[in-house]
Chain A
């Protein structure tokens, strides 16, 4: 328990560091967000308006850096991430709130499905090494090396078009109002299938490969031979002895993958114009939308940290050797 508390303390420290870096980095890169906004408005602004913009974005030149920093921290605690430029005058928190569910829904679900499918398949393939199952390995190696956005482009080129079941872009039919009725959910699923498929295909192969290799390694461990010698049923040897141990490295890989859900599939979202966080990040970069960038980076950092925490907890649960006795 004290181990977990220690980890928790470490994570809090990391969060603070991330938040602080997040505050300073945009202030160090060249370019002035307010100037960018003024250019966008073609200079049609009074000097009063410009000044109030600076105050609004927390870039008040009259304030010291330290007081800017503390008011930034205070705003963060209130969940206030500032104003977005691109979606002006929506607050960043609202913009992210719009994009996050789509990303988590699409990438989150496919990552989880991909992990479970791939790990299960890898366990079986690794267990049956030396049989036909090995012929799967070159295929998965090939598939896992295909960048998924390229796969997405190919899928769009081949499968979408007039009269096709698969829409080429968006997350739901234009004109539908997001709510929980069947028409909307159906449309969401229909739009999600193709991007989900491309992510799934490439991620599953990765999991198959790593799980298969661990299975082969673990299968030659002594305790697996002992389990055979004990006359245990094949299934039990495979699941409780071989797969159970082979799983451990994959679990930490899975936690990392969870952390990259938010930021990792930017390209898929761009390819499919999927209105998730990745697409927003892309737009924010294009528009020099610093507050939105900061907000998204913060979310990405926090999700990676959260995933790491999950990995720690999962490891504690799965591997007794990591538990320290009090």
Chain B
């Protein structure tokens, strides 16, 4: 059994309060192990980003975490619940333990400050006593790490290309050598070639530095290649979780199957690109039973009345689907 680093237990996140509240993340359980890349995939609106922001307490209002716990296991063996940590402790833990690379590389950098200022201020916030010169050296080192010439250190964000900005964000995320890096669609705004380069850089860096990654994307093909384990989200729930090779070969949930069929495989026999008919449900008026059943090609009678629970169906695999009865623990 690998060492656990982050445990999400029964996390519920919603937007708004009271009767009009929308439950965007429902009873999610996730575990991130040390040195692992955990992929989180799903359509737009499936709650993957909300999950990431919710568990790091970065969700802007009206988003609220309504329940659950997020246990972070520190290096010394003790654990803290991120959701109940006092603000000052949370601030200390942020970035030094859990760093985040955000969706919009373009907007993640403060437009009126130099790259150097933004790289240095995170160093300054977490180790105020380091001399200025050492911080500058570290900033330069970080840029080199992600393959940006150090003479760019004093550039403003608008002077860099989209790919370079995302590299800067990755450099920034690694500034304090965090143990967990959450990546929220880090390559969405970039073209395919740059996407590749960035991912390559990420893979290399992860091998060298050994941090764990939560990788959020709607691009399952990317995950299959890049991650160790994949959790598929649908309408705020995790519907399937498996090793990426297993998931790719034999998806159990019809939704995972649909996702995998919506992009062409590079190897293997030809097959039809099917896609998934319909669109994700409105979170305010969720279907009864399994949220996926109106779109499911293999729906059973039971699907529209009872919600399947996520459970182990076979070795190392969890799925929430009536097609695969699980031994409820």
> Is B56 a contact of A229 with CB atoms below 8 Å?
yes
Known: A225-B60, A236-B121, A320-B158. A230 touches B111 (CB 8 A): no
Q: Does A222 contact B (CB under 8 A)?
A: yes
Q: Does B104 contact A (CB under 8 A)?
A: yes
Which of A130, A233, A245 interacts with B61 by CB under 8 Å? Answer: A130
Bitwise interface map of B from 49 to 64 toward A, beta carbon under 8 Å scored 1, else 0 = 0000000101011000
Bitwise interface map of B from 96 to 110 toward A, beta carbon under 8 Å scored 1, else 0 = 100110111001111
Residues of B within 8 A of A240 (CB): 110, 113, 121
> Is B112 a contact of A320 with CB atoms below 8 Å?
yes
Residue of A nearest to B62 (CB): A130
Q: How far does the Cβ of A18 sit from chain B's closest Cβ, in whole Å?
A: 33
Kindly state the separation between the CA atoms of A122 and B99 in the bound complex, as whole angstroms. Answer: 31
> Is B99 a contact of A232 with CB atoms below 8 Å?
no
Residues of B within 8 A of A230 (CB): 94-95, 121-122, 125, 172
Q: How far does the Cβ of B82 sit from chain A's closest Cβ, in whole Å?
A: 12
Bitwise interface map of A from 230 to 255 toward B, beta carbon under 8 Å scored 1, else 0 = 11110010001100110010000000
Q: Does A221 contact B (CB under 8 A)?
A: yes
> Is B110 a contact of A223 with CB atoms below 8 Å?
yes
Bitwise interface map of A from 286 to 326 toward B, beta carbon under 8 Å scored 1, else 0 = 00000000000000000000000000000000111100010
Q: Does B322 contact A (CB under 8 A)?
A: no
Residues of A within 8 A of B110 (CB): 223, 227, 240-241, 244-245
Q: Which of A189-242 contact B (CB under 8 A)?
A: 219-223, 225-233, 236, 240-241
> Is A320 a contact of B96 with CB atoms below 8 Å?
no
Which of B61, B99, B156 interacts with A321 by CB under 8 Å? Answer: B156
Known: A230-B95, A231-B95. A321 touches B125 (CB 8 A): no
Known: A229-B99, A231-B126. A223 touches B93 (CB 8 A): no
Q: Does B284 contact A (CB under 8 A)?
A: no
Residue of B nearest to A219 (CB): B60
> Is A320 a contact of B156 with CB atoms below 8 Å?
yes
Residue of A nearest to B107 (CB): A222
Kindly state the separation between the CA atoms of A65 and B21 in the bound complex, as whole angstroms. Answer: 75
Q: Does B84 contact A (CB under 8 A)?
A: no
Q: Which of B110-129 contact A (CB under 8 A)?
A: 110-114, 121-122, 125-126
Known: A220-B60, A229-B100. A245 touches B111 (CB 8 A): yes
> Is A321 a contact of B95 with CB atoms below 8 Å?
no
Residues of B within 8 A of A325 (CB): 159
Residues of A within 8 A of B112 (CB): 244-245, 248, 318-321
Residue of A nearest to B57 (CB): A228
Q: How far does the Cβ of B132 sit from chain A's closest Cβ, in whole Å?
A: 16
> Is A233 a contact of B125 with CB atoms below 8 Å?
yes
Kindly state the separation between the CA atoms of A130 and B94 in the bound complex, as whole angstroms. Answer: 24
Q: How far does the Cβ of A166 sit from chain B's closest Cβ, in whole Å?
A: 43
Kindly state the separation between the CA atoms of A230 and B111 in the bound complex, as whole angstroms. Answer: 16
> Is A228 a contact of B93 with CB atoms below 8 Å?
no
Residues of B within 8 A of A219 (CB): 60
Which of B93, B107, B169, B172 interacts with A231 by CB under 8 Å? Answer: B93
Categorize the interface residue count of chain A.
20 to 34
Residues of A within 8 A of B169 (CB): 226
Kindly state the separation between the CA atoms of A248 and B111 in the bound complex, as whole angstroms. Answer: 12
Q: Does B91 contact A (CB under 8 A)?
A: yes
Residue of A nearest to B158 (CB): A321
Known: A240-B113, A245-B110, A321-B158. A225 touches B122 (CB 8 A): no
Q: Does B196 contact A (CB under 8 A)?
A: no
Residues of B within 8 A of A229 (CB): 56, 58, 94-95, 99-100, 102
Q: How far does the Cβ of B208 sit from chain A's closest Cβ, in whole Å?
A: 22
Residues of B within 8 A of A220 (CB): 60
> Is B92 a contact of A231 with CB atoms below 8 Å?
yes
Which of A222, A232, A320 interacts with B125 by CB under 8 Å? Answer: A232
Kindly state the separation between the CA atoms of A210 and B96 in the bound complex, as whole angstroms. Answer: 36
Which of A223, A244, A318 interacts with B108 by CB under 8 Å? Answer: A223
Known: A320-B111, A321-B158. A232 touches B103 (CB 8 A): no
Kindly state the separation between the CA atoms of A239 and B93 in the bound complex, as whole angstroms. Answer: 22
Kindly state the separation between the CA atoms of A241 and B113 in the bound complex, as whole angstroms. Answer: 9
Kindly state the separation between the CA atoms of A221 and B111 in the bound complex, as whole angstroms. Answer: 11
Residue of A nearest to B169 (CB): A226
Known: A231-B122, A240-B113, A244-B112. A221 touches B107 (CB 8 A): yes
Q: Which of B149-189 contact A (CB under 8 A)?
A: 156, 158-159, 169, 172
Residues of B within 8 A of A227 (CB): 110
Residues of A within 8 A of B113 (CB): 240, 244
Which of A130, A228, A319 interacts with B58 by CB under 8 Å? Answer: A228
Residues of B within 8 A of A232 (CB): 91, 121-122, 125
Kindly state the separation between the CA atoms of A219 and B58 in the bound complex, as whole angstroms. Answer: 12
> Is B156 a contact of A225 with CB atoms below 8 Å?
no
- Extra 6 A-B pairs, beta carbons < 8 Å, given A222-B108, A232-B121, A240-B113: A223-B111, A226-B109, A229-B100, A233-B91, A245-B110, A320-B158
| Nearest 7 Cβ contacts at the A-B interface | A231-B94, A222-B107, A320-B156, A223-B110, A230-B122, A231-B91, A231-B95
**Partner-B contacts on A (CB < 8 A):** 130, 219-223, 225-233, 236, 240-241, 244-245, 248, 318-321, 325
A-B contact pairs, 17 of them (CB 8 A): A130-B61, A225-B102, A226-B108, A226-B109, A229-B58, A229-B100, A230-B94, A231-B93, A231-B95, A232-B121, A236-B121, A236-B125, A241-B110, A244-B110, A244-B112, A320-B112, A320-B156
